[in-house]
Amino acid sequence: MLISRLFSANARLCGCAQVNEKHVQRGDKGEHVALVQYALVIIENADIAEGEMAASSYGPSTADAVLGYKTRRKIVNLSYQKKPDNIVGIMTVRALDLEIAAIEKLHGFTIRDRPGNARQRAWS
């Protein structure tokens, strides 16, 4: 179960937190991708291409941002991996969710606009 306000209302990300078939990966498009991109920008100031963000598209720069996030946090499923990949799976979406939830709690994080649009944020 996801706990952040940013992720918990999105059915696709909630599914990603539970089953492998719902992984978020290169080629995906939609609000769930926009939310992941938004989280990466907030947490790591990720450099994601404006075109990918405007289209809510999981392209090369989103994949690079995910890989960097996972590498820095050593997010690896040791049952079948030796190194991080650029896919948002169960472990990754849960890690992102926990970090975003902590930011929400600490800073009173709110979204002023749909993440797929200008990705504006306000800190209260």
Encode pLDDT of 60-118 as tens digits.
999 999 999 999 999 999 999 999 999 999 999 999 999 999 999 888 765 544 444 44
CA distance 42 to 22: 23
Domains contained in the chain, number = 1
Contact 100, 87 (CB under 8 A): no
Asked if residue 119 belongs to a domain, the reply is no
Give the pLDDT mean for 9-35: 97
Asked if residue 117 belongs to a domain, the reply is no
Q: What SS3 state is found at 19?
A: coil
Asked if residue 25 belongs to a domain, the reply is yes
Asked if residue 66 belongs to a domain, the reply is yes
Asked if residue 103 belongs to a domain, the reply is yes
Give the structural domain span for 49. 5-111
CA distance 4 to 49: 25
Give the pLDDT mean for 1-17: 95
Give the single-character DSSP code of 91: H
Q: How far is CA 23 from CA 54, 95, 101, in A?
A: 21, 14, 20
What pTM does this model have?
0.88
Asked if residue 123 belongs to a domain, the reply is no
Asked if residue 122 belongs to a domain, the reply is no
Q: According to the model, what pLDDT value does residue 107 have?
A: 82
Asked if residue 124 belongs to a domain, the reply is no
